[in-house]
Homo-oligomer: A and B are copies of this chain.
Amino acid sequence: MKLVIAGGGFGGLRLARKLNNKKGIEVLLVDRFNYHQFQPLFYQVATAGLDASNISFPLRKVFQKSKNVRLRLADIKSVDAENKKLITDTGEIPYDKLVIATGAGTNFFGNKELETYAFSMKSTVEALQIRHRLMENFERATIEQDPLEVERLMNIVVVGGGPTGVELSGAIAEMRNYVLPKDYPELDFSKMKIYLLEGSGKVLGTMSEKSSDQALKYLHRLGVTVVTNYLVASYNGKTLTNKVGSSIETATVLWAAGIKGHVPEGITKVEPVRGNRLPVNELNLLKPYDDIYAIGDVAAMVTTEYPNGHPQVAPVAIQMADNLANNLLAQLSGAEQKTFRYRDKGAMATVGRNLAVVDVPKPKLHFAGFLAWLVWMALHLMLILGVKNRLFVFLNWLYNYVTYDQSLRLIFREFHREDETVPV
């Protein structure tokens, strides 16, 4: 059986690893990057705490010794379900069975202006772009004469109070508190404002009430201006306004307010559901197709417990991959397939040094502060692929912790040449 996996994120990579060196199944893993991205730490790449390479793992290295898993670097364009082919920018790939594990991208909810001017952070490359922009803005501020423009260059707005927005705004606040004033003695950082804007009534809305409250306290402690019930109306690259007409002057809007499934074209027999996700049954099969599956962020498996599909987080993708791998092998051996059941191990978010919140569902408990922060770090270290990456992340964290210094404040592109293509 020739299995094609579209996407090398948490779900796709896990599935390929589970099927590695299994008999009777040929696997082709397709991704537009040649490395697996560890999404949970994008915000630390953006804020100069980690190197992009620390959270990236070459896919070919994972399968160097594999007998049945091959790689293809390609942009996925569409599915030709009729002829059982995946269409990519580097050619057509025939399949017997296809697994769509393409994840989710940023959702600007149709606002073209935001799409043009706001930054999203759904890839390592985008995280690097944010880092470069942050650094360049301060450089520009040092030579800017107009006080309003200086304010704009220094102010940073993060939209979306989920884990990504909380972690990103917290990390930027720590840069402002510890590093930036030393780097830029010319600038008055008491004037720099960091906003976290959330559309609903609270941050970390998917976590417990206690964790949400605690995270808000931590954000205040770090000096983040949190505004809830804020609904962004427009942003022209300079001024952000909300639905009731109040405005914020900023050159930098980081958008973490929504995601939507990356659904390839050609899936004509199925209508995507909320969040542009593909509805799958409890075997992750994309009915009425009998040879196309979907797992992870792009899949929506509606159950009584999860009427809107499961949360779009790594553990769901990984567990779906595990279950699907077993089912594919069961098909080959004629054994019975098992329906998916999510084991929720909890949620966590970190706001800053020594500041994190953890919710555990069974037994129901939550804790916060230094211990939560240690747990957060230990878990993320364990999940990172590769001994070397783990060591380098740990050393970077240790360095940052001891020195209060995110040391990777490097702009790896030609400055002031945005008009030219610098394909790094």
Contact = CB atoms under 8 A, between A and B. Distances in A.
Interface of A: 32-35, 51-53, 56, 58, 60-61, 64-65, 70, 72-75, 89-91, 124-125, 128-129, 132, 135-136, 139-140, 142-143, 182-184, 186, 386, 388, 391-392, 395, 399, 405, 407-418, 420-424
Given A91-B143, A418-B423, A409 B61 contact: yes
A70 B124 CA distance: 32
A183 B128 contact: no
A118 B302 CA distance: 54
B412 A183 contact: no
B128 A416 contact: no
A86 to B, nearest CB: 13
A395 B408 CA distance: 17
B33 A415 contact: yes
Contacts of A391: 395
Contacts of A70: 186
Contact of A125 (B52, B58, B128, B412): B412
Contacts of A407: 58, 61, 386, 388
B412 A60 contact: no
A388 B399 contact: yes
A140 B124 CA distance: 22
B90 A143 contact: yes
Given A183-B58, A388-B399, A413 B409 contact: no
Given A35-B411, A73-B139, 17 more contacts: A33-B411, A34-B139, A34-B409, A53-B410, A56-B412, A60-B183, A70-B186, A73-B415, A75-B416, A75-B417, A90-B143, A90-B416, A124-B412, A128-B412, A391-B395, A392-B392, A418-B421
Given A53-B410, A415-B32, A64 B183 contact: yes
A229 to B, nearest CB: 35
Nearest to A387: B399
A393 B407 CA distance: 15
Given A75-B416, A90-B143, A143-B72, A424 B129 contact: yes
Residue in A60, A414, A424 whose Cβ sees the most chain B Cβ within 10 Å: A424
Q: Which 10 A-B pairs have the closest CB atoms?
A: A60-B183, A73-B139, A64-B182, A424-B424, A58-B409, A421-B421, A35-B410, A34-B411, A56-B410, A128-B424
A122 B399 CA distance: 30
Contacts of A72: 142-143
A252 B213 CA distance: 56
Contacts of A409: 34-35, 58, 60-61
B61 A415 contact: no
Nearest to A75: B416
A16 to B, nearest CB: 15
B34 A415 contact: yes
Nearest to A128: B424
A183 B57 CA distance: 13
A64 B35 CA distance: 36
Contact of A32 (B35, B53, B414, B422): B414
B388 A89 contact: no
Contacts of A395: 391-392, 395
Contacts of A182: 64-65
Residue in A33, A73, A74, A91 whose Cβ sees the most chain B Cβ within 10 Å: A73
A142 B93 CA distance: 13
Contacts of A74: 415-416
A136 to B, nearest CB: 8
A109 B268 CA distance: 57
Nearest to A93: B143
A62 B411 CA distance: 16
